[in-house]
Amino acid sequence: MKRLFVAVKITPDEAFRQTYSVFRQKMVFSRITWVEPDVMHLTLKFLGNTPVDKIPFIGQVLNEVTQRLPPLDFKLDHLGIFGSSYDPRVIWLGSSDPAKLSELGHATIDSLHQAGFHRDRQNFVPHLSLGRIKKVENRKYFQMIIDEFRNRLYIKGKIEEVILYNSILTSSGPIYQKINAFKLI
């Protein structure tokens, strides 16, 4: 069994890295597990523990999806939180214009669903997870920093491939192994 997910790799530029570093420093009073810039990705579908013998079939499905869609430009420019302001769980970066990312996500989810990988219960919201919140010491300060950086953190680029990853959980954090990449044409 392998713990699989389908995603697009996000490669932050230096401007994002610098702003992200300042943002993280200002959040020092909260316990947050941050995503490092070098492993950032936008998950399209989490498959979970999957038998190794299903990997070629998943590859066929993803190849069919990517053969139908062209590469796309994206911009992640909206900082938000999942959970409530009282109990925030995840800090994320989304798009103010998610149509193209949503099309890619839904095409992937729909094709994998038809292939036997069931949909998640929640709606697909294209986003880049930045940090998983363990504890917020000062909610007012936390919200002030979120508001301060709401429009300062952004990433733009081009998505040219969809990647099937294996996620290996370790005590020092997950390791993501690229199994295969599927080019958008």
Q: Quote the pLDDT of residue 173.
A: 83
Residue given tokens 């200002």 in the structure block: 26
Q: What is the mean pLDDT of each run of 10 residues along the chain (185 residues)?
A: 97 97 96 96 96 97 97 95 91 94 96 91 90 95 95 95 96 92 97
* Torsion of the alpha carbons at 48, 49, 52 and 54, rounded to the nearest 10: -50
This prediction has a pTM of 0.93
Nearest in space to 78 (alpha carbons), one of 97, 95, 90, 91: 95
Report the C-alpha gap between 159 and 169 in whole angstroms.
26
Q: Quote the pLDDT of residue 123.
A: 85
Return the CATH superfamily for domain 2-183.
Cyclic phosphodiesterase (3.90.1140.10)
Please say whether the beta carbons of 48 and 169 come within 8 A: no
